[in-house]
Structure 1
Amino acid sequence: MKLLIIEDEKRLSSSITSYLSKENFLCEVAYTASQADELLCLYEYDCIVLDITLPDGNGLSILESIRKQNREEGIIIVSAKHSLDDRLKGLDLGADDYLMKPFHMAELRSRLLAVIRRRHFSGNNRISLHEIDIDLHAKSISVYGKLIEATRKEFDLFLFLTANRNKVVSKSSIAEHISGDNAQLFNNFDFVYTHMKNLKKKLSDAGCRDYIKTVHGLGYKLEA
């Protein structure tokens, strides 16, 4: 799951990134409103952690812009401002949650998962697709009740396909989702093909039908 952390306090943003990376989130960081705008123009995210007070702008303006574009990212505001008016304004503008500083990282993680569940998986921790079962908390994939040994990137890849099931997703969007900014370092998307090939083999070896279809010239689609 891919996150954008918009937070100008570098110590806090580093702590958030360090903790959530260990929880298998892919984190990218913007320290200013302009950096956030640039990243949002280039990439899509599962969820955004947004500070209200930024050195070159107001986080609420970023929130308003995101919602006007009808983007699907979940948004959690984090702020040292304890004003009820700020909280209400953020929620009215389309934030999914509001967390006041200081906060425990474990609580942020739980709220992120809750937002992602609501937005993509109807609030469920477990997703069933025919013989496949996905556990968001355990970050595991099972076929006919048998756990497959998926890597972190394979799990993220399958979850991304599941969130976009019956839609064609391009190789570039998959690359950005599982590798973030690092995707720009690759000359091609062979690594996407490799992860996809390995994932499909593990699913097939466990007795799963082939739901992941290659759409030539475009990308992949999970038909389920």
Structure 2
Amino acid sequence: MKVLIIEDEVELLRGIQDFLEREHFLVESADNYEQGMDKILNYPYDIVLLDIMLPGGNGLDLLRLLKEKNVNQSVLILSAKDSVDDKVLGLEIGADDYLAKPFHFAELLARIKSIVRRNAQHGDTVIQYQNVSLDMDNRIVKVDGEELQLNRKEFDVLYYFLLRPNKLLEKTTLAETVWGDHADQADNLDFIYSQIKNLRKKLKDAKATLDIQAVYGVGYKLV
């Protein structure tokens, strides 16, 4: 999953980022209002961890901006402000949940997974499509019940496609989501072709009844 942390406390930001990266998340960050606004309006994320008090603005204003721009974005508010009014206002504006500082990273991880399952996977921990199943929490893929060995990026690519079956996905969007912001600015996107080629071969060899098809000049589609 790709996470954006908008937080101005440097030590906390680094602590969350290190923890989530150990849990196999792709993490981007911003430490002020302007950076946060630029990222949430220009790049896709599975979830945004949003502090309320930011240099240059208020996190709740970023929530309002998302609503005004009709950006469908999962948001978990992180804030030292623990008043009922702040919680209620954040949830009314469009946040999915609220976690008061200080918090344990284990609780943060549980909240993130719960929000993503609820919004992207309809509450399920395992995605099933044709004869392929993907367990997000344990990072296990099976074909007809037999485990399929994938590397980290192959797993992330397949997970991204399984959440969007039959949808045409542009190369640049795939690059930003799986490899990080600004990946689309690389000299070329051959690294995507290479990963998908390897993933397709593994799925075919395992007799998966799904395939990832290239749409010339645009991107790929899971069929």
Counterpart AA for 1:46: D
Residues 1:134 and 2:134 are matched in the alignment: yes
Matches of 1:152 and 1:88 in 2, distance apart?
Answer: 38
Paired letter, 1:74: S
* CA–CA separation in structure 1 for the residues paired with 2:160 and 2:119: 13
Residue deviations 1:51-96 (CA, integer Å, cap 9, x gap): 0000110000001111222222210001000110000000000100
**What TM-score, normalized by structure 1, do the two folds share?**
0.96
Alignment correspondent of 2:7? 7
Matching of residues 204-219 of structure 1 within 5 Å = 204-219=204-219
Cα deviation code 1:12-43 (max 9, x no counterpart): 00000000001010000000010011112321
In 2: Cα distance, 1:184 partner to 1:8 partner: 27
| Cα separation, 2, equivalents of 1:73 and 1:213 | 27
- Unaligned ranges ≥5, structure 1: none
Moved more, 59-68 or 9-18: 59-68
Aligned to 1:62: 62
Contact 1:200–1:210, Cα closer than 8 Å, also in 2:
no
Computed over aligned residues only, the root mean square deviation of the Cα atoms, in angstroms, reads 1.1
Distance (Å, rounded) in 1 between the aligned partners of 2:73 and 2:22 = 22
Is 1:108 the counterpart of 2:108? The answer is: yes
Letter in 1 for 2:168: V
In the TM superposition, residue 210 of structure 1 has moved relative to its aligned partner by 3.8
Report the TM-score when normalising by structure 2: 0.97
Percent of residue pairs identical: 42
Measured in 2, the distance between the counterparts of 1:72 and 1:158 equals 22
Partner of 1:40: 40
Q: Which residue of 1 aligns with 2:96?
A: 96
1:211 is displaced (CA, Å) by 2.5
Query: Residue deviations 1:100-152, cap 9 Å, x none?
Result: 00001111111111111111110100111110011011112110111111111
Task: Count how many residue pairs are aligned between Structure 1 and Structure 2.
Answer: 223
**2:153 aligned with 1:153:** yes
* Cα displacement (A) at 1:97: 0.4
Q: Is the 8 A contact 1:5 1:13 kept in 2?
A: yes
Q: Which residue of 1 aligns with 2:16?
A: 16
How far 1:185 moved relative to its partner?
A: 5.5
SS at match of 2:174: helix
Which amino acid counterpart does residue 18 of structure 2 have in structure 1?
S
Q: Deviations over 1:139-182 (max 9, x none)?
A: 12110111111111111111111122221000111111111135
Q: 2:170 maps to which residue?
A: 170
- Give the counterpart letter for 2:35 in structure 1: Q
